[in-house]
Amino acid sequence: MKIPHLKKKPELKSCHGVEWEDNYSWIHQKNILEVLKDNSKLLPEVRQYLEEENAYTDHHLSSTKDIQKKLFDEIKGRIKLDDESLPYKDKNYEYWTKTTTEGNYSIKLRKKFGSDITEEIWNGDKEKEKLKTEYFGVGDLEVSWNDKYLGYSLDLKGSEYYTIYIRNIGSENLVTEKIEDTDGGISFSLDDKFIFYSKLDKYHRSKKIFRHKIGTSIKKDILIFEEKKSEAFTVGIGLSSDEKYFFITSSDHNTSEQYYFLASEEIPQPKLIKERKKGVIYSVNSWDGYFYMHTNENAEDFKIERCKNLSKQLWEKYIPAKNEVLIGGLVFLKNWIIRSEVSDALGKIFVKNIKTNIEEEIKFADEKVIVPGISKVQKDNDTDLLYLSYSSPKTQSRTYLYNLKSKEKKLVKEQVIPSGHDPENYIVERLECKSHDGRVVPITITRHKKTKINSSANLLLYGYGSYGSSMSPSFSSTRLSLIDRDIIWVTAHIRGGLERGMKWWKEGKLLNKKNTFEDFIAVANFLIDKKYTSKKKIIGMGGSAGGLLMGAVVNQAPELFLGIIMAVPFVDSLTTNLDHSLPLTVGEFDEFGNAKKNKEHFDYIFSYAPYNNIKKMDYPHILITTSLSDNRVLFDEPTKFTAKLRDYKTDSNLLLLKTEMNAGHGGKSGRDSAIEEVALDYAFVLKITNKF
């Protein structure tokens, strides 16, 4: 089949005295945000090219249709389709969700205390059918305090412009005007007369918090807060744990500022808690006569302080900082305070008895590499009961009803794998390797016990490494389809995440960004040295900022990899950084730098940006996936990257681009569609490893 070629329209670009040519910049339309909301506005020749690439991908993966179907059935066969969540007891009802064999979306149910009648208050499949839409993204789903109203927000394009609806649960009739172009969040006032929401501006940034009176025109909505100090900051609103205050948070990735007002205020007048200070992140909560502040001010990996009064703010130490141990937030019960810590990419949960002031770690399991979690059983905080859960890379999720007082636990839910799963068939290892500068990188390895460690195995190496986002070693039933076929799955906990605290993040961003790439390459070489795999047997995988990682490492060390999978990849990072009109750019200056205003940042980003560093050389097999309505990483980034890579690469390996024409950053909506996307990725892996 003929290889698709995108028309070249050379444009000479310049910044800080540096000039470079971009043959494909023309595909970025000036009205790109309009295209995200209405793809009929896409340039016809760009649409034609994307369709040609899709056809080319389908052609080269046509031999995998059977294995894709087999993988789909396998993955779906490991999901208990007709499943129900554990109930949460509210004031008058218990609420839970369920999924069905036939449906792709969840159903929200409730039952009044003392009644045997179950009400269905939300059914995603029915809602999607009513709207006759291909894409169906649910942003928020909230029940009012009086249990009368259901608030929900929908994105029908994948572009993350959410419309808010409020309806009467009993009649299913809308009780107020729909509110368009929001970030999707819904907060009911305690008297259920109002909702608070955030409106998106022309750059798709949430800058304003409005209060809407239910049943009235949105023209009468009151603006209660607007972020005016920084283009980079966006806003959100939430209620305190004791339900006495609303807190408004304005922040970027690196700095935050909060305001508060009483939940009972007739006309909210938000008051500043603490002036923003660059690099300082803080959040305040309220409970039992104290305000608790979680902050990294003079505490790199966070600490918790508390005070009695926000007007005086006489903060006292509550949880001290620990070096390279990330201190998490607090969960409150009447007699208990629960918190989390993360170190070396492993989480721990601690519980403090308020009466005795004694704090203890809750021990979950005998396994070393686990992901622990807790959630509340009920709204009434006068309880000793808690849901306690954990999973590991080999053990499916298990949830216990845990008595904090007696320390007794009872298994109340275990993730069911209908097709069968025996954790003893798998081996999980936590290893460490030195990176280029001597820093030690944690690695989580999951493999079948029959897989030989003699350099012969293929290995999928997964990484992300941005925004302080940690990769937790949780259970994934989908990965078993590769692991059972003798492919080792490895997660590299590289710098740019928070696996080893804030320093781990700082050492992987701005002018340290290349550490992220060097860590990944170091992990790959370590795994080769330790005979887990060999050169040309590794498949690198990452999405979004993890796609930036993939693009950088494949330009730097292509000889290590058999294949690369990039999902919605941030590969034209210099162009995006220079365009301050895009939704995310200005909010990421503290993550990647500001190339337009700072020459040092420009030179550094230019030196690693995947699109700008494509070379004439052999590349491994590459699968790139993107979505037309993605506002986070615009489809033109992977499109340009693919087109330029076709011009430069000197090999005959596969280079495939697949664009979802009705989807967003997270891919297509719905359970089956999500499984299909995973099956496509895995089929590509099996094709290039000759395992089908």
CB atoms within 10 A of CB 223: 10
Average pLDDT over residues 120-146: 97
Q: Structural domains in the chain?
A: 50-76+420-688 (3.40.50.1820)
Helix H, strand E, coil C: the string for 11-70 is: EEEEECCEEEEECCHHHCCCCHHHHHHCHHHCCHHHHHHHHHHHHHHHHHCHHHHHHHHH
Residues marked as catalytic: 544, 630, 665
pLDDT of residue 93: 98
Render pLDDT for 378-408 as a digit per residue (tens, 0 to 9). Answer: 999 999 999 999 999 999 999 999 999 999 9
Percent of the chain with pLDDT over 90: 97
* pLDDT tens figures, 288-315: 999 999 999 999 999 999 999 999 999 9
Handedness of CA 23, 29, 30, 32 (dihedral sign): negative
CB 328 within 8 A of CB 342: yes
- Tens of pLDDT, residue by residue over 48-103, are 999 999 999 999 999 999 999 999 999 999 999 999 999 999 999 999 999 999 99
Helix (H, G, I), strand (E, B) or coil at 98: strand
The owner of tokens 């990419």 is 345
Q: Give the model's pLDDT for residue 416.
A: 97
Rounded CA-CA distance 633/571 in Å is 9
Residue 661's pLDDT is 92
Find how far residue 31's CA is from the centre of its chain.
Answer: 27
Which residue bears the tokens 């989390």? Answer: 340
pLDDT at 514: 98
Instruction: Note the pLDDT tens digit of each residue in 547-558.
Output: 999 999 999 999
Report the range out of 320-324, 603-607, 659-663 with the highest average pLDDT: 603-607
CB 175 within 8 Å of CB 166: yes
Contact between residue 234 and residue 227 where contact means Cβ atoms under 8 Å apart: yes
Q: What one-character-per-residue DSSP string does 563-588 give?
A: EEEEES----HHHHHH-TTSTTTGGG
Q: What is the pLDDT of residue 121?
A: 98
DSSP 8-state code for residue 278 = T
The reported pLDDT for the residue numbered 46 is: 97
Query: Distance between CA atoms of 177 and 30, rounded to whole angstroms?
Result: 32
Rounded to the nearest integer, the mean pLDDT of the chain is 97
pLDDT band at 364 (very low <50, low <70, confident <90, very high): confident
Looking at residue 449, its pLDDT comes to: 98
Longest dimension (CA), the chain: 74
Is residue 336 within 8 A of residue 354, CB to CB? The reply is yes
Look at residue 319 and tell me whether its pLDDT is greater than 90. yes
Average pLDDT over residues 127-152: 97
Distance between CA atoms of residues 202 and 180, nearest Å: 13
636-648 helix and 44-60 helix, angle to the nearest 10 degrees: 60
- pLDDT tens-place string over residues 232-263: 999 999 999 999 999 999 999 899 999 999 99
Q: For the residues 203-228, what does the mean pLDDT come to? A: 97
Alpha helices in 530-670 (DSSP H): 545-556, 573-578, 589-592, 599-608, 636-648
Q: List the single range of 290-299, 363-372, 564-573, 601-610 with lowest mean pLDDT.
A: 363-372
- Report pLDDT for 692: 82
pLDDT digit string, tens, across residues 473-507 = 999 999 999 999 999 999 999 999 999 999 999 99
**Residue 365 predicted with pLDDT over 90:** no
Q: Is-contact 281 296, C-beta < 8 A? A: yes
Rounded Cα distance, 11 and 18, in Å: 14
Q: What is the pLDDT of residues 642-675, one digit of tens each?
A: 999 999 999 999 999 999 998 888 888 999 999 9
575's CB contacts (< 8 A; 6+ apart) are 22, 25, 28, 611, 637
